[in-house]
Structures are given as C-alpha cells and as structure tokens.
Amino acid sequence: MIDDHYLCELHLHLDGSLPVETVKYLAEQENLSLSDITGSASSEEASEKYKDAGDSFMKTEILKPQLSVSEDCRDLNEYLTKFRIPLALLQTEDAIYDAVKAVGHAEEELGVDYVEIRFAPQLHLEKGLTQRQVIEAAADSAVYFNADHDTKIRLILCCMRGDDNREANMETVRLAAEFIHEAQDKHVEPSDSAYKKVFIPSAKGRTLPVVAGVDLAGAEALYPTENFADIFLLARELDVPFTIHAGEAAGPDSIWTALNFGAKRIGHGIAAIQDESLMRYLTDNNIVVECCPTSNLNTKAVSTITEHPIREFLRHGIRVTVSSDNTTVSNTNLIREFELLEDAGLTAEEKYLLYKNAEDGWM
C-alpha cells in the first residue's frame, strides 16, 4: 500500500516478467544451456566467451540481453521475440507453478497489493500438458501464494492472435468459464480441490475466483482484432469477463472493434488519442484502459514519454491505469513506471487517480 491506496497491477504477462534468477533456475532444472533453448549462433558464441567463468548455470551477463529489449528495439514484432526463452522453459507443471510464485514474490517486494498475471495456456503444451493442466498449475500456485502473503494474485487467460488456433482459443474461454463458475458455486465445499484452485481472499476483503477472465494478445498488426469475434461471442455467452489488447500496434478501429465485442477493459489502448469520439465513449462507459508506458516506448508505439497519451486520457476522465506489461522484457516494474511518469510531469493528483482507477478496475 502506498499513500493509503492499494497498489494494483492489472496488466502483467507471466512469460515476460520471469526474474532472471528464475529463468536460470528453470534452465538448471531441465539441464539446458542458452543455446539449447534458442538454437542461436549468437548464444553459442556468448556461451563460448564465458565458458571458463566457473559457474554451472547460464551467466546473467549472457542471459539478460536474450530476455530484455534494448533501446534499438524496432517494433512490437521484435519485442515479442524476447518471449522465446521463457516460453521454452514454461512447459511443465512444476515450471509454471514456480513461475507464478516467483512473479508473485517480485510484486510483493515492490509493495504491490494486488496483481492480475496473464498467460496463454495454449503456449505451454509442447511437452504434452493440456490447457487444463497448465491452468491448474498456475491456479494452485496462486492459491498457495495467496494463503501466505499479503500480495494477492489472480490470473487472466490469454487467447492468442493467429491463423490456425481457433479451437485452442475457444478451449481457453471454456476453461476460464469452468474455473470462474466453479468458484462461484456456493455448493462447492472449502475442502474440495477445485475450490482451492479457484478461490482467493481478495485485498478488498471479498472472495473472488483466482481465474479473473480472458484476454486476446499477440501481434495485433498481423492479426486484426476483427478476426476474433467468435471468441468473445462465446465469452459473453458463458459470462466470462474479458480485456483485449487493442490500439497498441493498430489504430482506433481496433479499439472500437474490441468495444463492440463487449470489452470492459482495453490493453494498452494508446491509439484512442487519435479519435476524440472514442475517448468520449471510453469515459462515458467507464472503460478501463491498461497503459504500459515503458513497453510502449520499447515497441515504438510512442517516441518519448512526454508523447504518451496517459495524462491526456486522465484529463478526458478515462479510467486509465498504469502497469509494467513485462518487467523482464522491458527492464521495468510498477514503481519505475510511476517514476518515469513523474519525471515527465505527472502530478500528485494524477497519481492518485491512477492508483484509484487500478484499485477500482479489477475484473
């Protein structure tokens, strides 16, 4: 808690936020080298350079550049390449369990009270897991973490933009519905294993499903939002809350499409600044916009922090929030995001509004 307000992070990707030490630990558990994971010549050259350093695990100085973007990152598509290593490691139940716990600990160290961690179950099936097993591993980790820590974790299940994964996306939505509604079933006893997987005591003193809802993530410019109407038709039919990445690498039309699908939250959404009527709609309909300033700088969605529309969104009365998106990929965290904005002129009143919007913006 900061300044008597809960510190809440609503937009945080599991695979993009694994601490470097956790990546090293997971690689050791699998007895993998950096070149084993990436198959990259540059990784092999780096490993050769440091082979006499004496440690049995991958060196941080080798690994960190493989996990984080540089200032020369060209766009979102290049940014997304940094997920290759963590995704390669997050293919077992134990690894997923450990990853959720590690991100929870990192958030707790920052003083975060509540965090929604998102991931795509369909990206963790390379070693034979089912989507259900992936979600159960993450949910188990969140529940056990929540029992022992003041920081509370909930999960958002991402559907992915792509050409041939419709059925995988539909399965993600169905499983989200199952976990959410099972949690809300008053006939489920506390001793039931399913109950343990889906309930947490929230920071607001309420009990909520640990699975909060679903999302649509991935390469927005390559796979337009309009292509995924059936996912969100199903989500509405099954009463599953959802957010959608929109207006990050595409224009205002992508946000309008997400809103027409029924989204009550928008991931990034910075293209809304180009459309005055869209900003009015966001304000009038209490839509939460999950801004991630450093990530937007990394992907060249904005050129400088002073150009970021977050303060203009506040002036319009939009319920905008601040998150770090991917702490490891972007070399950031929630505290640094606020410091970056304060350096660019964020006022105490604006900071208060950002805190409040996040606290009121949970799924």
Q: Which residues are catalytic?
A: 248
Q: What is the DSSP secondary structure assignment for residue 202, as one 8-state letter? A: -
132 Cβ contact list (under 8 Å, min separation 6): 175
Residue 289 in tokens:
């916009």
Q: Are 279 and 313 in contact (CB under 8 A)?
A: yes
Radius of gyration in angstroms for the set of CA atoms belonging to the chain, rounded to a whole number: 20
* Cα–Cα dist 330/132, whole Å: 29
DSSP state for residue 272 in the 8-state scheme: G
SS3 label, residue 22:
helix
Any idea what DSSP says for residue 211?
E
Residues with Cβ within 8 Å of 253's Cβ and at least 6 positions away in sequence, in order, are none
Q: CA-CA distance, 254 to 88, in Å (whole number)?
A: 30
User: Cα separation of 262 and 242, whole Å?
Assistant: 8
With a CB cutoff of 8 Å and minimum separation 6, the contacts of 75 are 249, 299, 300
329 close to 16: Cβ distance less than 8 angstroms: yes
Query: In 10 A of CB 49, how many CB atoms?
Result: 12
Other beta carbons within 10 angstroms of residue 72's beta carbon come to 6
Nearest to 65 by CA among 47, 88, 91: 47
Length of the chain counted residue by residue: 363
Q: 205 in helix, strand or coil?
A: coil
**SS in 3 state form for 106-122?**
HHHHHCCCEEEEEECHH
